[in-house]
Structure 1
Amino acid sequence: MNRAWATAIAADAAVVLLFAVVGRSSHDEGLTLVGVARTAWPFLAGAAVGLGLAAFAHDDPRSNRAGIRVWLLTLAVGMVLRRLTDAGTAASFVVVATVVLGVLFLGWRFVARVRRWTRPFRRS
């Protein structure tokens, strides 16, 4: 596994965990490890599917294309798994999750690209 993929896996998992932590704290649900895991697991599964499809398609994991795949599959798989486990999929939650996950998944990729563009050239 190269550095770009390792970064993408770690950053995408961090996005989902941040989403779960902020969501739980904003609803006074408590920030226990079990509670965060219960909220995050469906979306982590979706992110894994999205990253797997991006790898299969030979996408650069830092690209917008990969970010959109991961975002939409995280959302779709996460909501389906939440629905199947009676965890709740209220329309307002779906809207908030769509926006927040989109901003976070595409946002870190944007920052990574800008950082690469602005780094000074180094000779080996």
Structure 2
Amino acid sequence: MKKSKYSIVFALVAMLIMTVTIPALASEEALTQLNPYSECEVKFTESAADGTVIMPFATYNVYADKGDTQRQSGLWYAWGWTRLVDKISGDDIRHYTKVTYYMNDGEVGVESGKAWGTGKVWNNTEDTYKHSVVRVWYGVN
């Protein structure tokens, strides 16, 4: 039986299309598991009505907020909190929150340590001069 060169080309093109499009059709939730070996920055792109952030497309929901506050001494501190909730069970996930307070270049600033807990985990930096960038991080290990 003789095969046409067009059928071979057609089969190769079909395989290429399937290889490229099948991963795109996969659920985003399956692709963004909570990695126990990395630290993640909260991306403040989608906000709820109360101003807290919600990060979709994961097997867990991240709720967070951040800001900076001036003390009576004139110095400032950055604060933030995170809450991780399992999407399936609805249980809070034990995790830590870390806050960084830097200038735009990222060279001068302060970082908090890791504050561990379950539910809404608050943390803040030490008192310092006013900086421009507050970032909130979370992790589970």
TM range (shorter): under 0.3
Structure 1 or 2, whichever has the larger Rg, is 2
Greater share of helix residues, 1 or 2?
1
After TM superposition, the score normalised by the length of structure 2 is 0.24
TM-score of the two chains, using structure 1 as the length reference? 0.26
More strand by share: 2
